[in-house]
Chains A and B, each alone.
Chain A
Amino acid sequence: MKRSDIAIVIPLYNEEKVIRQTLLDLQKERPNDVIIVVDDGSTDNSFEQACVKGVRLLRHIVNLGQGAALQTGIECAKRLGCKYVVTFDADGQHCPKDIEKFVEVLKKDEADIVLCSRFLGKAENIPTFRKYFLKTASLVEKLLTGISLTDVHNGFRAINIQKFPNFTITQNRMSHASEIIDLIKRLKMRYVEMPCTIRYSEYSLSKGQSLMNSINILFEFILGKAIK
Chain B
Amino acid sequence: MILIKFFLITVLSIVFLLLALSSRFRTYQRITVILLYLFLAFLILFPQTADKVAEFFGIGRGVDLIIYLSIAVLSLIVAILYAKLKMTERAITKIIREIAVDKSRECE
Contacts and interface: CB of A to CB of B under 8 A. Distances in A.
Interface of A: 1, 36, 38, 50-62, 64, 68, 71-72, 75-76, 79, 170, 172, 227
Contacts of A71: 97
Contact of B100 (A1, A52, A72, A172): A72
Nearest to A1: B106
Contact of A59 (B92, B103, B108): B103
Contacts of B90: 170
Given A1-B106, A227-B82, A58 B100 contact: yes
A68 B97 contact: yes
Given A172-B93, A227-B83, A227-B86, A38 B100 contact: yes
Interface residues of B, number: 18
Contact of B97 (A54, A72, A227): A72
Contacts of B108: 53
A54 B106 contact: yes
A56 B92 CA distance: 23
Contacts of B99: 61
B96 to A, nearest CB: 5
Nearest to B89: A172
A227 B86 CA distance: 8
B24 interface: no
Contacts of A76: 100-101, 104
Contacts, number: 57
A218 B20 CA distance: 39
B105 A60 contact: no
A106 B93 CA distance: 29
B107 interface: yes
A59 B104 CA distance: 7
Nearest to B87: A227
Contacts of B96: 60-62, 64, 68, 72
Interface string B16-40: 0000000000000000000000000
Contacts of B107: 50-57
Contacts of B97: 60, 68, 71-72, 75
Given A36-B104, A50-B107, A172-B89, 12 more contacts: A38-B100, A54-B106, A56-B105, A57-B106, A57-B107, A59-B100, A64-B92, A68-B97, A75-B101, A79-B101, A172-B93, A227-B86
A90 B106 CA distance: 18
Contacts of B86: 227
A68 B86 CA distance: 14
A71 B97 CA distance: 8
B87 to A, nearest CB: 9
Contacts of A57: 104-107
Interface string B52-73: 0000000000000000000000
Which has the most chain A C-beta neighbours within 10 Å: B90, B97, B100, B105?
B100
A60 B101 CA distance: 9
A103 B44 CA distance: 70
A208 B96 CA distance: 26
